[in-house]
Amino acid sequence: MLNLVLKTLEQTVSTMILVFLMLFITGLMTEMGVFQRISYLAKPLVSISRLPAISASTFVISLGSALAANTMIARMKNEGHLSERQAFLSAILNSVPVYFRELFTYQLAFVIPVLGIFVGGVYALVAVSTGLIKLILVLILGRAYLMGDSMPSLELAEPQERKSLINSAIKSLRGQGRIFLRIAALYFIMTFLVLYLSEGGILQSLDVLPLAHLFSVPPETVIPLTIYVASPKAGITLLGPMIQNGDISESKALIVLMLGSLFMLPVYSIRSLMPNYTSVFGMRLGLSLVAISTGISVLVRLLVLVALLMATG
C-alpha cells in the first residue's frame, strides 16, 4: 500500500506543478486583460453557440493546453462568471482542438506512414470526425439551452485601468489558492483509485477474444488487437506490417482498429480523463464530461465498425 501511495505521489506531483503554473499564469493574464485582447479569434464560434466571451479566451488557450483552459473555466465558474451549462459546453469545446493538433503530430507523423494511406487515412478521419461532432454538439446545445444563462462575465466588462504585474500576480495567487487545493486533493484520490484498480488487474481484465470471434476477426490479429487496447501505438506498429505483407485486408484491419478502440477508449478515460476532469470540475460535472466525451468517441467508432461489417458482409 505504501508503494502505491508513493507511486500516486510521483504521478500527482508533476501534474499538479503544471496545474499550479497554468492556474497562476492564466489568472495573471486574466487580471492583466490579455485574454480580452485575443478572444476575438474564437468569437464566431462562441457567438453561434451563445457561449459567453470568456469561452472564446479559453478556446484559444486550449489550442496549446486543454488543461490550462479548463482550469480557467473552473475558476470562472467558481467566481460566478459562468453557469454550470456554460462551463460544461465550454469544457467540451476546449476538447476539440486536440483532435486537429494530433492530425499533424500523430496521425500524419505516425499512423498514416505505418498503416498506409487508406487505413491510416480512414483512422485519422474517424479521429477528426469525433472532434467535429463535439464542435457541432456544442453549437446545437448552446443555441438550444443557453438563452437563459446570461451571467456577468469578466470578458464583457469595459477595459479597466492597466494593473501592475506585481499586483496582478498577487491577486492571481490569492484567487487560485482554494481551487488549486481542491484540484490537487481530488486528483490524488482519483489517481490512487485508478492505480489501485490497475494493480489489482481489474482494468486489464477485459478479454477481447470473445468479441474477436464474434466479429470474425482473423486469429492472427488477436495479439495486435489485445496490445492495441493497452497501447494503441504498439498495436498499430504490429498491425502495419501485417497490412503491407497482405496477411490481413485493409477492411479487416480497420475492423480490428475500431474494435480495439471500443475497449481502449473507456480504459483511457478511466486512467487519464477521469482524474483530470474530476479534479478540475468536481465529481458531478467532471464525470459528466468524461461520460459525454467518451460516449461520443465510442459511438463514432461503433458506427464505423457497423458500416465496415455491413460492407464486408
Residue 201 falls within a domain, yes or no? no
What b/e string do you get for 55-89 counting C-beta neighbours within 10 Å, with b at 16 or more? bbbbbbbbbebbbbbbbbbbbbbbeebbbeebbbb
Lowest mean pLDDT across 88-102, 133-147, 157-171, 230-244: 157-171
Q: Considering only residues 242 and 140, tell me which one the structure prediction assigns the higher pLDDT.
A: 140
Residue 16 lies in a domain: no
The count of structural domains within the chain is 1
Gyration radius of the chain's alpha carbons: 22
Q: What is the mean predicted confidence (pLDDT) over 271-287?
A: 89
In a domain, 197, yes or no: no
| Domain region containing 232 | 206-313
SS (H, E, C) 145-194: HCCCCCCCCHHHCCCCCCCCHHHHHHHHHHHHHHHHHHHHHHHHHHHHHH
pLDDT tens-digit readout, 77-93: 888 888 899 999 999 99
Please indicate, yes or no, if residue 293 is contained in any of the structural domains. Answer: yes
* pLDDT at 289 (0 to 100): 94
Q: How many residues does the chain have?
A: 313
Q: Is residue 107 part of a domain?
A: no
> Is residue 231 in a domain?
yes
Read off φ and ψ for residue 6, nearest 5 degrees. -65, -40
Residues 181-227 pLDDT 10s: 777 777 677 677 767 766 665 544 455 556 666 666 666 667 777 77
CB distance 241 to 115 below 8 Å: no
Q: Which three cell numbers stand for residue 260?
A: 480495439
pLDDT at 279: 86
- Give the pLDDT score at 127: 93
Confirm whether 217 is domain-assigned: yes
pLDDT by residue (tens digit) across 248-273? 889 888 988 998 898 889 888 988 88
Task: Tell whether 101 is covered by a domain.
Answer: no
Q: Work out the number of other CB atoms within 10 angstroms of the CB of residue 102.
A: 18
| b/e 163-187 (16+ beta carbons within 10 angstroms → b) | eeeeebbebbeebbeebbeebbebb
pTM score, whole prediction: 0.74
Q: Cα 123 vs. chain centroid, distance in angstroms? A: 18
Distance linking the first and last C-alpha atoms of the chain: 51
Three-state SS for 88? helix
